[in-house]
Amino acid sequence: MNYHVLTLFPEMIEQGMNTSIIGRAIEQGLLSLEAVNIRDYSTNKHHKVDDYPYGGGAGMVMQAQPIYDAYCALEKKMEKKPRVIYLTPQGRTFSQKIAQDLAKEQNLVFLCGHYEGIDERVLEEIVTDYVSIGDYVLTGGELPAMVMMDTISRLIPGVLNNEDSAEYESFQNSLLEHPQYSRPEVWKDKRVPEVLLSGHHEKIAQWRHEQSLERTFLRRPDLLEKAPLDKKDKKYIEQIAANQAISDENVTEE
């Protein structure tokens, strides 16, 4: 996977991505990352990249020319036209499914906006995908581009160690994970659940599965609609729901 980021803040991308697991994957040659400074492509003598909006209004608009020329310089080096993702609050909300789709590509171009936006004409010319990372307001597209690259990179073969990856997750995806414990056995008077010390692998697996069901019911009940639950799972959840109803009743009476 080769990432190309069009941005006014290339250092932010480089700093953010060169550490951790993604940095190691880049060193191993599994990924590449190029942050292109849009300003380097401005034909204006002051390297200007923005101007006032036609029709008036607050703030500045990023002009078409530097972005288009920066994109064309990238496209020239590729065999086929890449997907170009514009990070914008107006996009489809990013998801694991979108990440899986994008992970199939050889090249991905991310376009990061700032100011009040980008001249619509260059968006029409180069953008293939409009993507947001959720309904909250950031200052620009750089963090969203990094969120997307981080998510997509984990799906590239070899980036994660085998223990973490692929198939196991696709089932687990629909349920939250069970709680984890490590040494010591007692911390602040809290004991590690006895079953985990038993060495009884079947019982441990069952306990963990039940914890997953309970957590998902309590914290993310929306996920249960899509989860592949068997009869026993459904019974277990009904039982938790019933217990909860009883404790709610007790609280109300107090």
**Binding stretches for ligand 9D3 (CB under 6 A):** 87-89, 113, 116, 132-134, 136-141, 144
For residue 42 the two structure tokens come to 């401005």
What is the distance between the alpha carbons of residues 18 and 103, in angstroms, rounded to a whole number?
19
Give the nearer residue to ligand 9D3 in terms of CB position, either 53 or 193. 53
Least Å from the CB of residue 151 to ligand 9D3: 13
What is the distance between the alpha carbons of residues 254 and 252, in angstroms, rounded to a whole number?
6
What is the distance between the alpha carbons of residues 113 and 124, in angstroms, rounded to a whole number?
15
Dihedral of CA 210/213/218/220: which sign?
A: positive
- Cα 201 to Cα 128, 138, 162, 197, 230: the distances in Å are 49, 46, 21, 10, 21
Residue with the shortest CB distance to ligand 9D3? 138
What's the DSSP call for residue 118?
A: B
Least Å from the CB of residue 54 to ligand 9D3: 15
Give the nearer residue to ligand 9D3 in terms of CB position, either 23 or 89. 89
Least Å from the CB of residue 88 to ligand 9D3: 5
Residue with tokens 């070899």: 158
For residue 90 the two structure tokens come to 């107006």
The CB density around residue 147, as the number of other CB atoms within 10 Å, is 17
Give the nearer residue to ligand 9D3 in terms of CB position, either 42 or 88. 88
Least Å from the CB of residue 85 to ligand 9D3: 10
What is the distance between the alpha carbons of residues 159 and 152, in angstroms, rounded to a whole number?
10
Least Å from the CB of residue 113 to ligand 9D3: 5
Residue whose C-alpha is closest to residue 127's, from 182, 189, 64: 64
Give the nearer residue to ligand 9D3 in terms of CB position, either 22 or 118. 118
CA angle, corner 185, sides to 183 and 186, nearest 5?
A: 115
Least Å from the CB of residue 35 to ligand 9D3: 16
Give the nearer residue to ligand 9D3 in terms of CB position, either 66 or 144. 144
Give the nearer residue to ligand 9D3 in terms of CB position, either 118 or 213. 118
